[in-house]
Structure 1
Amino acid sequence: MIRTLLGRAGLVAAAAGLATLLGAAPAAAHGGDAPDGTDYRTRTTGVTPARPGLEVRVIEAGARLELTNRTGRAVEVIGYSGEPYLRVGPDGVYENSRSPATYLNRTITGDTALPAEADPAAPPSWRRIADGATARWHDQRALWQESSPPAAVRTAPDREHRVRDWTVPLRDGADPVVIGGTLDWVPPPDAYTWWALTVVGLLAVGALGLAAATAPAGARALSALGALLIVGGALAVGYPVGRELDAGAQGVGGVLVGLLSGQVWSLLTGVGAIAAGWYALRRRPAADFVVALAGACLALFAGAANAAVFARAIAPVPWSPEVARVMVAVLLITGTGATFAGILRLHAASRATARAPRAEAAQRGSTPAG
């Protein structure tokens, strides 16, 4: 029986692993190097002097700035050496291929090697990179790039600290304009507390799994597991939607494009968990295997993939970090619990199948000869 159980568990793990390989490529493309969480809070205080139609905000948990220009005029973002870097106007977004910022800002770490053409003193060479009137870019002036925290943070890591006020210069025609903002250190949460709460939840769902493997409560427990999977699936869809919104997606179309191009596996995980939950509620054949597989995918690709928020103060979603942590904890609890419950039911079914021939043989042996 143990070998049967291990075989079933191995099948679930293998199927989940295959799904990982199929979905890893598109998932890795989402948001470039957008962080899963950070302890540095980047905020913008606006544009000075104010320009009606010129808007700026922080996206991707502070990893990038977003500028939208609806003034009807071209506005330039100035690079690190005072050179024109980006141009945003009615005819689209352009980058200056001779600006060092064009290459340094391609990654959040700013470690891209500069080509020979990168010369801030040379006349701009504009290259169109996007339609529309919105530009998004990493900006080292709004980020903390050192490997260790500031000295004040090392002295008192349990307190919030203002790291610096930052500015990014713009040019509106001949007029200088400035984006202003702040960078703060925010103490991270106690990750052990969140993991402990998650483990307690896992034990509770595990108890439900034991009930689901026994009669007569098994059918009701399976329905409860189905309901939990539907909730987990909805959260698994909602979390990447939040990440897309935090990354600057506009409207339903923008969110869908972002999900399908960068987070398709997260979307499929959530939809699959909802389908598996419905399957369990209807008590369909092979519901046990479907519940186990959907739970494994939910725990791995929606829960563990976002578990960095347990140890980071700022989450890459447009709601509070506490809500983000609760969502991830529920995903881990629901996914892992459903996996164990499905395996336990598979094990119970295999034992029942193995006992049936013996019981039948015993019954034949005890029947008197006619």
Structure 2
Amino acid sequence: MIRVLLTRAGLVLAGALTATLATAAPAAAHGADAPDGTDYRTAITSVTPARPGLSVRVVEAGARLQLTNTGDAAVEVLGYSGEPYLRVGPDGVYENLRSPATYLNRTLAGDTKLPAEADPAAAPDWRRVDDSATVRWHDQRALWRESAPPPQVRAAPDREHRVRDWVVPLRAGGEPAEIRGTLDWVPPPDAYPWWAAAVVGLLAVGALGLLPARSAAGGRALAGLGALLVAGGLAAVVFTVGREVDAGARGVGGLLTGLLAGQVWALLTGLGAIAAGVYALARRPAAEFALALAGACLALFAGVANAAVFARAVAPVPWPGTTARLLVALVLVAGAGAAAAGALRLHAASRQPTPTTAPTPHP
């Protein structure tokens, strides 16, 4: 029976991994190239003049700007040559097919080849792309796109630096307006202590699987592993929800859509870990199998998948980078530790001799 469970666990893990690799295109709720973190902090300082219903925010760890206009008059975002680029108003979101920015801003790198019809001097050719009052776009004026850091950063990479003050011009109700902001270099954290703490933590948790399963200490260890897996699952769910909020999700409906469209594996593994942890706390049959499978999925899809935050100053969540790193470290410790402990307990159970029934003597 134990071997059958282990075989099924391997098949489930292999299938999950294959599905993840096959759907490895970036989340639809995010931009096509939403980063897992960055060392450049983009911030908005003002939108002038202020207009009722007009708001702008930074999303996707600074990779995009998000503009919402619920006012009565349309607002235009101007492109790199001062041409109309985007229009947001009561009738939805439009992009100008003549604006070079329409094509350059489709990727974070800004390397899209311009079609022949792209001409900033031509009359706008508006195409409706959304019926909402919100638009998100990459803007090269608010980004650092070069592979090499700026000269001042190369000279002193361990200090914060103002890279530039930027301006994105608008036209609101026919009048000029602008978004002003800043772009700063923030020194990245040292990833080594975070990885070291995660490895030490998961080894300590995994060692609980060496306690005899049928002893009192083994029973308490199983309950402790269940509680830790619940905590790791909650951390994964919180981090996943944070990524969607940082990506610009608005309202419960927008949040659920983003989670199901782009973060479904992280969300499901977090919820699965919570369920498996509760199952282990109740000391149900095959609790070790649940711990091993749910822990492995949690560590892989919600831990390793987000481990880039260990080496990035700005995480793709609406909280400080340290908070993001603590959540991911907890996910790794709980997931990998529970997987190791569950596997050790399963291995120990498989080595125990199967009790046999003594033959009934014949009269």
- Judge same fold: TM > 0.5, yes or no: yes
Q: Which amino acid aligns with 1:281?
A: L
> Judging changes above 3 Å, is the alpha-carbon distance between structure 1 residues 369 and 91 closer, same or farther for their aligned structure 2 residues?
closer
Which residue is 2:109 aligned to? 109
Could you list the per-position Cα deviations for residues 46-98 of structure 1 after superposition, in whole angstroms to 9, with x for gaps in the alignment? 21222232111101100000111122101100011111000011111100011
Secondary structure of 1:353's partner? coil
> Judging changes above 3 Å, is the alpha-carbon distance between structure 1 residues 9 and 41 closer, same or farther for their aligned structure 2 residues?
farther
Secondary structure of 1:94's partner? strand
Cα deviation, residue 11, structure 1 = 5.5
Could you list the per-position Cα deviations for residues 288-319 of structure 1 after superposition, in whole angstroms to 9, with x for gaps in the alignment? 11110100000000000000000000001011
For residues 199-218 of structure 1, the aligned pairs below 5 Å read: 199-211=199-211, 213=213, 215-218=215-218
Which has the larger displacement, 297-306 or 111-120? 111-120
For residues 256-295 of structure 1, the aligned pairs below 5 Å read: 256-295=256-295
Which residue is 1:21 aligned to? 18
CA distance, structure 2, for counterparts of residue 90 and residue 67 of structure 1: 13
Cα deviation, residue 12, structure 1 = 3.7
Which has the larger displacement, 309-318 or 13-22? 13-22
CA distance, structure 1, for counterparts of residue 299 and residue 202 of structure 2: 11
Which has the larger displacement, 303-312 or 204-213? 204-213
Q: Which amino acid aligns with 1:29?
A: A
Q: Which amino acid aligns with 2:100?
A: P
Which has the larger displacement, 211-220 or 303-312? 211-220
Cα deviation, residue 45, structure 1 = 0.8
Secondary structure of 1:338's partner? helix
CA distance, structure 2, for counterparts of residue 261 and residue 57 of structure 1: 22
Which residue is 2:254 aligned to? 254
Secondary structure of 1:330's partner? helix
Unaligned runs of 5+ in 1: none
Q: Which amino acid aligns with 1:235?
A: A
Q: Is the 8 A contact 1:13 1:296 kept in 2?
A: no
Which residue is 1:126 aligned to? 126
CA distance, structure 2, for counterparts of residue 353 and residue 100 of structure 1: 73
Secondary structure of 2:352's partner? helix
Cα deviation, residue 267, structure 1 = 1.2
Q: Is the 8 A contact 1:58 1:66 kept in 2?
A: yes
For residues 312-323 of structure 1, the aligned pairs below 5 Å read: 312-323=312-323
Q: Which amino acid aligns with 1:258?
A: G
Q: Which amino acid aligns with 1:28?
A: P
Which residue is 1:188 aligned to? 188
What do you get for the CA RMSD once the two structures are aligned? 2.2
Secondary structure of 1:285's partner? coil
For residues 1-370 of structure 1, the aligned pairs below 5 Å read: 12-24=9-21, 25=23, 28-30=26-28, 31=30, 32-211=32-211, 213=213, 215-353=215-353, 356=355
Cα deviation, residue 369, structure 1 = 12
Q: Which amino acid aligns with 1:180?
A: R
Q: Is the 8 A contact 1:26 1:262 kept in 2?
A: no
Cα deviation, residue 112, structure 1 = 1.2
Could you list the per-position Cα deviations for residues 75-124 of structure 1 after superposition, in whole angstroms to 9, with x for gaps in the alignment? 10001111100001111110001111111111111111111211111111
Q: Is the 8 A contact 2:206 2:339 kept in 1?
A: no
CA distance, structure 1, for counterparts of residue 247 and residue 161 of structure 2: 25
CA distance, structure 1, for counterparts of residue 25 and residue 337 of structure 2: 25
Cα deviation, residue 173, structure 1 = 3.2
Provide the identity percentage.
68
Could you list the per-position Cα deviations for residues 341-366 of structure 1 after superposition, in whole angstroms to 9, with x for gaps in the alignment? 11101111111135x45xx78xx9xx
Number of residues paired by the alignment?
Answer: 359
Q: Which amino acid aligns with 1:335?
A: G
Cα deviation, residue 13, structure 1 = 4.4
Q: Which amino acid aligns with 2:231?
A: V
Unaligned runs of 5+ in 2: none
CA distance, structure 2, for counterparts of residue 13 and residue 173 of structure 1: 60
Could you list the per-position Cα deviations for residues 19-38 of structure 1 after superposition, in whole angstroms to 9, with x for gaps in the alignment? 12334527733412111100
Secondary structure of 2:167's partner? strand
Q: Which amino acid aligns with 1:120?
A: P
Q: Is the 8 A contact 2:39 2:314 kept in 1?
A: yes
Q: Which has the higher helix share?
A: 1
Cα deviation, residue 244, structure 1 = 0.6
> Judging changes above 3 Å, is the alpha-carbon distance between structure 1 residues 178 and 337 closer, same or farther for their aligned structure 2 residues?
same
CA distance, structure 1, for counterparts of residue 35 and residue 234 of structure 2: 23
CA distance, structure 2, for counterparts of residue 45 and residue 273 of structure 1: 41
TM-score, normalised to structure 1, is: 0.91
Q: Which amino acid aligns with 2:42?
A: T
